[in-house]
Amino acid sequence: MSFPEGFLWGGAIAANQIEGAYNEDGKGLSSADCMTRGTNTCPRQITYMTKDGQVHADMFVRLQAPEGAVFGQFEGYDYPSRKASDFYHDYKEDIAMLAEMGFRTLRLSLSWSRIYPNGDDEKPNEKGIAFYDAVIDELLKYHIEPLVTLSHYETPVALTNKWGSWLDERNIPCFEKYVRTLAEHFKGRIHYWLTFNEINTSQLIPFMEGGVPLNTPQAKADSAKHQLIASAKAVKILHEVDPSNKVGNMIAYGCWYPNTPSPADMLAARARGDVPHFFCDVQVRGYYPESKLIEYRNNGIRFSLTEEEKQILKEGTVDFIGFSYYSSTTVSGDPKVIGNERGNMSYNGIANPYLKKSEWGWTIDPDGLRIAMQELWARYQKPLFPVENGLGAKDVLETGGSVHDPYRVEYIRQHILAIKDAVEIDGIDVMGYATWGCIDLISVSTGEMAKRYGFIYVDADDEGNGTYRRCRKDSFAWFKKVIETNGEDLS
């Protein structure tokens, strides 16, 4: 046995990181449009104006905005989502190149504020829908299955300014309307959906994940509840409109090792999985796990669910689990042992002497992917879909337009081998494999262009200068062969 027939090989992109055209054709500002460009050492900031007319820029991991803050773009700040990779104008060429590679799926997100510019508009923005019509039709022309993320790290910022986005339950009907619009409009053309990208990161970076301006434990509990209900309603709507729709959740996942064989380290390492597991528990099983209710009670968090809400969660369970995996983290239970290693949405890891790291300091650990899949499979027995995985690296564009990226090929090869073992040895049901940022795009954590993941090079620099010409990297031909042979030829 090897990769199943129809295995969905492909890649993933997100609207705010690739499209640009942030204010074209009636698009409203999204939370992502309010994030400045950063660097590897200087984090991105979120900009807003306080009631007294002062403009503030706060680090995205620490944002705690005062009441009445109005988020937006302001003079003197650089916002990379304005142009990103200019996919809005280049999508035809981009999709043709993906088709040339033989892509079977493209995971893309739709921008809610392109369709409902303020989030709660009466009617959708026809031009926004027309753009996605063109993109989806272009994909279908090449038999590339669209895998659509309903909300990938952006929410219409008007909803943040109105009531704090997911802090307020009034966000739910707005999201429902957006989902219903898409479900009905794209019926028969889109069959695979994901609800919220990396929903568990709402507990770490609430504004980036869902436009939530507060970082308190109560705010996180409230926004989690509202998004979980919205996710369940989205699943229900998509199933009702087209029973053949397959809907997944999407969590940022990883693999957490104890720093030593000490039981305290093991407990601490296991605890790192608590947040993604909590979200998965609700989205896959349809109810809040007892451990979360105990945690809320012990910490004085106000929380309750009506019978109707319980019913919604129960009826809106997902068909598969989508997850991102980039790196593993080593964890200590000893407060004296302090680490500062980073990974995707993980901080304060302890250095792991067995693993190499990327230029951005993320560990490279393909075995960790297999362990992650074993864990998810053991817990949920639902089909798994790694919808994000890849290596962010600096590439050099040679004169003549080639890019030699053996490091990327090696990273992806090893991770595909890990998935192969998960399929062949562990018997795990895996739907496909989508590499992150198959076309170079802006990094979510730093806003840089220099942190590249693609098979397709985009000639633009961190300041947004360049021709935006597309070039095939060496990994392009390699991945084409992988897809052609359904993962048999990885040489």
Buried b (16+ CB within 10 A) or exposed e, 85-121: bbbbebbeebbebbbebbbbbbbbbbbbbbbbbbbbb
Structure tokens at 330: 């080593």
Nearest to 197 by CA among 231, 162, 163: 231
**Which of 3, 153 has the CB closer to ligand BGP?**
153
Binning the chain into helix, strand and coil, the percentages to the nearest 5 are 40, 20, 45
Name residues whose C-beta falls within 8 Å of residue 481's C-beta, 6 or more positions apart in sequence: 489
- Residue whose token pair is 């999985």: 273
Give dist(CA 382, CA 429) in Å, integer.
7
Provide the pairing of β-strand 456-458 with 470-472: antiparallel
Nearest to 136 by CA among 176, 171, 92: 92
**Which of 226, 451 has the CB closer to ligand BGP?**
451
What minimum distance in Å lies between the beta carbon of 453 and ligand BGP? Answer: 7
What minimum distance in Å lies between the beta carbon of 111 and ligand BGP? Answer: 13
Query: Interface residues with ligand BGP (CB under 6 A)?
Result: 14, 17, 153, 197-198, 252, 324, 344-345, 388, 392, 436, 443-445, 451
Q: In the 8-state DSSP scheme, what is residue 24?
A: G
What minimum distance in Å lies between the beta carbon of 87 and ligand BGP? Answer: 14
Backbone φ, ψ for residue 115 (5° rounding):
-95, -45
What minimum distance in Å lies between the beta carbon of 383 and ligand BGP? Answer: 20
**Which of 69, 387 has the CB closer to ligand BGP?**
387
**Which of 39, 50 has the CB closer to ligand BGP?**
39
Provide the pairing of β-strand 105-109 with 432-436: unpaired
Judge whether 286 and 317 are in contact, CB under 8 Å. Answer: yes
Packed helices 126-141 and 87-101: angle between N→C axes, nearest 10 degrees: 20
User: What are the catalytic residues?
Assistant: 198, 388
**Which of 345, 372 has the CB closer to ligand BGP?**
345
The amino acid that residue 419 corresponds to is I
What minimum distance in Å lies between the beta carbon of 402 and ligand BGP? Answer: 24
Sign of the CA dihedral 387, 390, 395, 400?
negative
**Which of 11, 124 has the CB closer to ligand BGP?**
11
Other CB atoms within a 10 A radius of the CB of residue 358 amount to 19
Judge whether 381 and 370 are in contact, CB under 8 Å. Answer: no
Instruction: Show the CA angle centred on residue 228, arms to residues 150 and 327, nearest 5°.
Output: 70
Length of the chain, in residues: 491
Residue with the CB atom nearest ligand BGP in the bound state:
445
Identify the three-state secondary structure at position 14.
coil
What minimum distance in Å lies between the beta carbon of 333 and ligand BGP? Answer: 26
**Which of 115, 387 has the CB closer to ligand BGP?**
387
Identify the three-state secondary structure at position 460.
coil
What minimum distance in Å lies between the beta carbon of 141 and ligand BGP? Answer: 26
What minimum distance in Å lies between the beta carbon of 441 and ligand BGP? Answer: 8
**Which of 344, 352 has the CB closer to ligand BGP?**
344
